[in-house]
Each structure stands twice: as structure tokens, then as C-alpha cells.
Amino acid sequence: MTAPVDPPRLAYRHTPGAGPTILFLPGYASDMSGSKALAIEAWAQATGRAFLRFDYAGCGESEGAFEDQTLAGWRDDALMMVDRVLSGPVVLVGSSMGGWIMLLVARDRPDRVAGLVGIAAAPDFTDWGFTADEKMRILAEGRIARPTPYSDQPMVTTRAFWTSGEANRIAFGTVPIDAPVRLIHGQRDDDVPWTRSVDLAAKLRSADVQTWLVKDGDHRLSRPQDIDLILRAIEHVSRPR
């Protein structure tokens, strides 16, 4: 019999203020120091809004090894922020893979989530984001490494992460979320097709769903005009109802 292993300690930055608290969920292999997270934090501090950014296990300042992590584990990291760090209603802002985790958290904590803002949301990308050959290599070799324009290091995907993603797909049918949702997507996104947000909007059960397309926007959506749009979306879903 082995002793239980303590979960990795997670790093986070919490700005107290008026609610609902805005919780930023980073993308795959990203962290809480990205430009969008910092821009939203600066706006929250200037306007007296509550805000929290954090690093998933194995990312940024949090403990753990990146290649040991799974989608379900990162979902649980986000749930821990909602359950143990924050109180009251929460607005989830999910970037890329963070948009997938956003949906899982909103499904699992319907009484806590007041609204959602997806930024190039990429739910279920383990299904559509890899070729058949890449999926076979992941299963056979345990990992693949692909070049990425966002780092000088290749982006690694492990078999554990991929199988966890496949087990936690959410957008294959009606997505049981009733909170207001704003989906922002650049039409020059080379990583996540903008049609993914259009399809997701149709599957969300909520009647208060809008998809905002940025014709000249890329995957990052971190230009000043993109940040302004994100902040407007946060204000939209934060309104009392």
C-alpha cells in the first residue's frame, strides 16, 4: 500500500473587488502571465472588479511536471479555484483550450457560473485537432512534439492528455449550459477554425448566446481592439439578470 500523493500546489493572483469574480482560464501550454490575462487584470483593478488568474498544474509557477498533466486534471484545478478560493458568482473567461475547460466547469457548477466568454474556444480539440496519423503516434509512442509559432520549444501532447480529452468531450450534442455566453473568434485563426465557435453556439442550451467574429483577428486576439472586445463581452455577461 502506498501513501497518497499530495496534489501540486497551484499559483494564483486574486484581485478582490465587486462581483461576479472574473476567472481567467489559459490555453494549452500557456500560463497566467499572458497578455490577455494581464490586460483583463489591469482593467479589473482600475474598475474595482474581482478577478483571478492562475496556473494549471505543471504550467507557469504551479508545481508539477507538464507532461504528467491531463485535461481532467486541469479541469479539476479550475474547479478548485471556484470551490476553495472564490465565493459567490463567477464569470469564466476561457482562451483556446481554456474555453473547453470553461464549458466543463460551467456544466459542473451551474449555480456558481454567472456567464462565459470564450476566446477562440477549442472544446474537444483532441478529436479534431490532430490527424489520424498523429493520433496513432500518440497512442503508439506515448507522445508527440509539434512545432508551434508561440514558442521556440515544440508543443508536446501526451497519450494521457489525449485520452483524457477524448473522455471529456462536451460539444458532441446539446451542451447543458444556461448562462449567458459570448464567443469571440478571429477569422484568420490558423489554429482553431472560427466555424468551431459558430457550431458551439448552436449546441449551447442557453438562449443568451452570441458569436462575435473578428474578420482580421488571429488566434491570439491580443491586440488593443481585441482586448476591448473581450472586456465588452465580460461586461455583457456580468449584467444582473
Q: Is 66 buried (19+), middle (13-18) or exposed (0-12) by CB count in 10 A?
A: middle
Give a three-class secondary structure readout of the chain.
CCCCCCCCCCCEEEECCEEEEEEEECCCCCCCCCHHHHHHHHHHHHHCEEEEEECCCCCCCCCCCHHHCCHHHHHHHHHHHHHHHCCCCEEEEEECHHHHHHHHHHHHCCCCEEEEEEECCCCCHHHHCCCHHHHHHHHHHCEEEECCCCCCCCEEEEHHHHHHHHHCCCCCCCECCCCCEEEEEECCCCCCCCHHHHHHHHHECCCCEEEEEECCCCCCCCCHHHHHHHHHHHHHHHCCC
Query: Per the residue annotation, which of 62, 95, 124, 219 is the catalytic one?
Result: 219
Strands 18-25 and 12-15: unpaired
Query: Per the residue annotation, which of 55, 189, 191, 226 is the catalytic one?
Result: 189
Query: Per the residue annotation, which of 96, 164, 197, 238 is the catalytic one?
Result: 96
Has 189 been annotated as catalytic? yes
169/203 Cα distance (integer angstroms): 13
The catalytic residue positions are 96, 189, 219
